[in-house]
Amino acid sequence: MDGTLRRLARLRKAELHQHLDGSIPPRKTWALMRRHGLAPVRTFAEMKKLLALQPSEERSLLAYLDKFHYPLWITQFYENIREVTAAIVVDASRRGVRLLELRYSPVIHTFAGMTLRQSIRSVLSGMNLARAHHPIDVGLVVIAMRQHGPHIAKILARQAIAEAEHLHKRSGVVGFDIAGAEQGHPPRLFAEAYRIAAAGGLGLTAHAGEAASSDYVWQSVDDLGVRRIGHACSAVSDPALLRRLARDGILVECCITSNYQTGAVQRGSQHPIFRFLEAGIPVAVCTDNSTVSDTDQIRENRYLLEALGPEEIADLHRRAAEHSFIRRRRQFPPAEKERPKDKKRIHRAVLGLFGMTLTAALLASSAGLAAAPAVPAAPAEQPSQPPPGPAPPSTGPSASPPSGQGPAPGGQPSPLRRLPPELRGRGLSPAMSEREVPASEEEAEAKLRELLPLLRAASDRHETYALRFTCDETFRTVPYDWQKNEATSENVKRFAYLLAFDQDRSRYNVIRQTLTKEGKPGGEETLQVPCPDAYAWTFLFSPRNQRVLHYRYLGREIKDYRLTHVVEFESSAPFVEGQDTREWSGTVWIEDRTFNFVRIEAIPSFQERRLTGQWRVYTESFNLPWGKARPRPRGYELTVEFNYSRDGMLFPTRVDVREFVWVARGREVTDRRFVQEYTDYRFFQTTTEETQKAPRASP
Ligand SMILES: [Zn+2]
């Protein structure tokens, strides 16, 4: 057991739900109280009792909330908040937390005269302080207290946006939340605040279903548009809601110890986290309040050991990290394609768990869930281009039914066969709502005709910007182990990235200057990569490309939390070295209204045909002592993400190229990956006005 605990301690963990006020290490609170002459008791032992929930105080949310009084005495001052924040981050880091979202209500820290802005910045300052010396990514979720009402919530949402992570170089606000007494404060009242937060690019979560019915969880999903829910304990009694959370990939932040203490979950009954896992809902294991609940990430994960092994727990954290609102994540490796053996292992674990613990009563209560359609077996080979949705054409943008697939008579009688969609591992991004496809070929063509000039204009805007920025580029080469199909090491290089004209001024060239460890530019360097330059993709619809590529309008869908048009592009040019966008075919997701690219997924043109041809050459080539004379067929898969927004435009932030080889006809293993990340964009000679009417960057 001790060995297992040590493993849990070492495991990279993602903490997505931890309150600042309830998590200050007691020694730190005690030291600050003594320093300022505020200590209400004489000894540290007595103080600890006031800060942590005692067994006699269990099963009441009010007694639980009462534990937050004493920390508030010291957290009304900038320096103190900075100090306690740093202490929490360091504490979490020592327990193996590599990604930490702290949450905090700025309003209740302004009683001594701090402004809301100072209140928020004091936390960020503490985060930056700790982050500089510890391997941890941190971000702040701003909480609006329900009892303060919807109007204060709106003010807080605006304040939160001003300090958003994506607007600043260092740690920032990453999300928005409501908390506090649930009953009598229905989530729908806060819809306007959430709309503001979403428009400002913040991640959305809400405390719901902790002390209220599942109706509040529904409201959070439908009216607030949250991507995550805190607690959601009451959702277990609502099969339709479970299906909805699973379908939309809405993560539940589970706080096991806290839920037993507040009475949200009865002692002796199984924690809902297992039902969520079984229903295919993404979950995170969270502490809520490490001091009040006298817990930490290691102890919380111990609860899972009865059903999951350390490997599965590690996987759970990796998946939770993908749902983090923190955008600049360094400590968790990028999402990787599902390994088939992993899927089997997790499936077995989930089945084993429910074989052990499901009682007849539980089965009866989940009859509604059992009526859900059985999840079709995942196709053996996922095509890299998603086929157009099978859904019938719909008329409005919100035409998808609220409860997903709906009842299916004759579905599997047992919910146990359902493998959680998050474990089925399809692409690199979470499954979202279905695609709304055009009613007819004619409608699709009309839509494309309407889009093309707008996309051409968007391409022009990017051209205006092409010579006016520089950014940091991190280039990772990650070799894979063929047998294990996992990364073995990585080689990281950092560059200052900028664009310049060619000598004849007909096209752009990329200039990469190596950066030293201290961030100083070194010499120029060229990269040998089998893909186009990241910025080149922004010209996908330039007139030059419109002549060569064939486009097809596939419909609209939500992608990376944005409403997008989906357009397929197909090249008739052969794949040579892959450096020209016209050597690729794929799918691009284009944001509605702004016509910015959100994401591109592509493969070399005629890849299948090329691999088949190479396979023939390979098998027919001479046998040499060490193998075949010709190399095995080699293919590529590419994704580009656009996540940095400036002046209404989105700039590329990440390119991920997977290189694979055919080991048998049609069967492939990953050989290498190339990941390019673009951060810290710095612009020169551009202002918002200039963008509106600037001529093209003149040669
Ligand atoms: Zn909470």
How is 634-648 classified by DSSP, letter by letter?
EEEEEEEEEEEEETT
Angle at 98 between CA 95 and CA 99, to 5 degrees: 120
| Residue 296 pLDDT level (bands cut at 50, 70, 90) | very high
Distance 124 CA to ligand 1 centre (A): 19
Residues sharing a CB contact under 8 Å with residue 57, sequence separation 6 or more, in sequence order: 63, 64
Q: What is the DSSP string of 547-615?
A: TTEEEEEEEEEEETTEEEEEEEEEE-SPPSSS-SGGGEEEEEEEETTT--EEEEEEEETTHHHHHHHHH
**What is the residue whose two structure tokens read 């077995």?**
348
pLDDT for position 61 = 66
- Asked whether 643 and 653 are in contact (CB, 8 A), the reply is yes
Distance 24 CA to ligand 1 centre (A): 14
Distance 532 CA to ligand 1 centre (A): 45
Q: Is the pLDDT of residue 149 over 50?
A: yes
Q: Is the pLDDT of residue 445 over 50?
A: yes
Q: Which position has the higher pLDDT, 510 or 99?
A: 99
Distance 52 CA to ligand 1 centre (A): 15
Distance 444 CA to ligand 1 centre (A): 46
Rounded to whole angstroms, how far apart are CA atoms 697 and 699?
A: 6
Q: Which amino acid is at 442?
A: E
Q: Is the pLDDT of residue 579 over 50?
A: yes
Domain boundaries, the chain: 2-355, 441-481+488-693
In the sheet with 137-145, reading across from the earlier edge strand, the strands are 13-19, 97-104, 137-145, 173-179, 203-208, 228-231, 251-254, 283-285
Mean pLDDT of 465-480: 88
Distance 104 CA to ligand 1 centre (A): 10
Q: What is the DSSP letter of 413?
A: S
- Asked whether 525 and 495 are in contact (CB, 8 A), the reply is yes
| Residue 621 pLDDT level (bands cut at 50, 70, 90) | confident
Distance 316 CA to ligand 1 centre (A): 20
Distance 17 CA to ligand 1 centre (A): 6
User: From the centroid of its chain, how far is CA 158?
Assistant: 22
| 64, containing H or E segment | helix 61-66
Neighbours of 434 (CB within 10 A): 19
Rounded to whole angstroms, how far apart are CA atoms 388 and 170?
A: 40
Distance 179 CA to ligand 1 centre (A): 7
Distance 208 CA to ligand 1 centre (A): 9
Q: What is the three-class DSSP state of 662?
A: strand
pLDDT for position 489 = 80
| Residue 334 pLDDT level (bands cut at 50, 70, 90) | low
Distance 649 CA to ligand 1 centre (A): 35
Q: Is the pLDDT of residue 192 over 60?
A: yes
Q: Is the pLDDT of residue 594 over 50?
A: yes
Distance 63 CA to ligand 1 centre (A): 14
Q: Which amino acid is at 472?
A: D
Mean pLDDT of 189-201: 93
Neighbours of 442 (CB within 10 A): 9
Q: Which position has the higher pLDDT, 233 or 686?
A: 233
Distance 354 CA to ligand 1 centre (A): 28
| Residue 356 pLDDT level (bands cut at 50, 70, 90) | very low
Q: What is the DSSP letter of 354?
A: H
Total count of residues recorded for the chain: 699
Distance 134 CA to ligand 1 centre (A): 25
Rounded to whole angstroms, how far apart are CA atoms 305 and 353?
A: 10
Distance 25 CA to ligand 1 centre (A): 17
Q: Which position has the higher pLDDT, 666 or 133?
A: 133
Phi, psi torsion values for 9, nearest 5 degrees: -65, -40
Rounded to whole angstroms, how far apart are CA atoms 263 and 267?
A: 8
User: From the centroid of its chain, how far is CA 617?
Assistant: 42
Distance 22 CA to ligand 1 centre (A): 9
First to last CA, the chain: 69
Mean pLDDT of 471-491: 82
Distance 598 CA to ligand 1 centre (A): 32
Rounded to whole angstroms, how far apart are CA atoms 210 and 264?
A: 6
Q: Is the pLDDT of residue 237 over 70?
A: yes
Distance 477 CA to ligand 1 centre (A): 39
Distance 259 CA to ligand 1 centre (A): 10
Q: Which position has the higher pLDDT, 670 or 120?
A: 120
Distance 516 CA to ligand 1 centre (A): 42
Distance 357 CA to ligand 1 centre (A): 28
Mean pLDDT of 469-476: 89
Mean pLDDT of 199-217: 92
Distance 264 CA to ligand 1 centre (A): 12
Distance 187 CA to ligand 1 centre (A): 15
The mean predicted confidence, pLDDT, of the chain is 81
Q: Is the pLDDT of residue 91 over 90?
A: yes
Distance 64 CA to ligand 1 centre (A): 11
| Residue 485 pLDDT level (bands cut at 50, 70, 90) | low
Q: Is the pLDDT of residue 209 over 80?
A: yes
Distance 417 CA to ligand 1 centre (A): 32
Neighbours of 269 (CB within 10 A): 10
Distance 67 CA to ligand 1 centre (A): 13
Distance 510 CA to ligand 1 centre (A): 47
The winner for highest mean pLDDT among 309-313, 366-370, 583-587 is 583-587
- Asked whether 138 and 100 are in contact (CB, 8 A), the reply is yes
Mean pLDDT of 118-134: 94
Q: Cα-Cα-Cα-Cα dihedral of 234, 239, 240, 245, to 10°? A: 70
DSSP H stretches of helix in 209-265: 214-222, 239-247, 256-262
- The residues that bridge with 201 in the sheet, in sequence order, are none
Distance 330 CA to ligand 1 centre (A): 25
Residues above pLDDT 70, as percent of the chain: 82
Distance 106 CA to ligand 1 centre (A): 15
Tens digits of residue pLDDT in 5-45: 888 888 999 999 999 999 999 999 999 999 999 999 999 99
Task: Work out the angle between the directed axes of helices 340-357 and 310-322 (0-180°, nearest 10).
Answer: 110
| Residue 644 pLDDT level (bands cut at 50, 70, 90) | confident
Distance 291 CA to ligand 1 centre (A): 13
| Residue 233 pLDDT level (bands cut at 50, 70, 90) | very high
**What is the residue whose two structure tokens read 């580029």?**
473
pLDDT for position 552 = 92
Distance 546 CA to ligand 1 centre (A): 51
Q: Is the pLDDT of residue 338 over 50?
A: no
The winner for highest mean pLDDT among 141-150, 481-490, 646-655, 669-678 is 141-150
User: From the centroid of its chain, how far is CA 185?
Assistant: 28
The winner for highest mean pLDDT among 252-261, 302-311, 508-517, 527-536 is 252-261
**What is the residue whose two structure tokens read 């089965």?**
363
CATH code assigned to 2-355: 3.20.20.140
Rounded to whole angstroms, how far apart are CA atoms 530 and 640?
A: 14
Mean pLDDT of 131-143: 94
b/e per residue 167-198 (b: at least 16 CB within 10 A): eeeebbbbbbbbbbebeebbbebbbebbbbbb
Q: Is the pLDDT of residue 693 over 80?
A: no
Distance 203 CA to ligand 1 centre (A): 16
Tokens of 346: 């997790």
Distance 133 CA to ligand 1 centre (A): 27
Query: Of the given ranges (74-78, 289-293, 334-338, 390-394), which has the lowest mean pLDDT?
Result: 390-394
Tokens of 368: 């509604």
Distance 210 CA to ligand 1 centre (A): 9
Q: Cα-Cα-Cα-Cα dihedral of 68, 71, 73, 75, to 10°? A: -120
Q: Is the pLDDT of residue 361 over 80?
A: no
Rounded to whole angstroms, how far apart are CA atoms 397 and 68?
A: 44
Distance 217 CA to ligand 1 centre (A): 14
CATH code assigned to 441-481+488-693: 2.50.20
| 688, containing H or E segment | helix 688-693
The winner for highest mean pLDDT among 138-152, 571-585, 643-657, 684-698 is 138-152
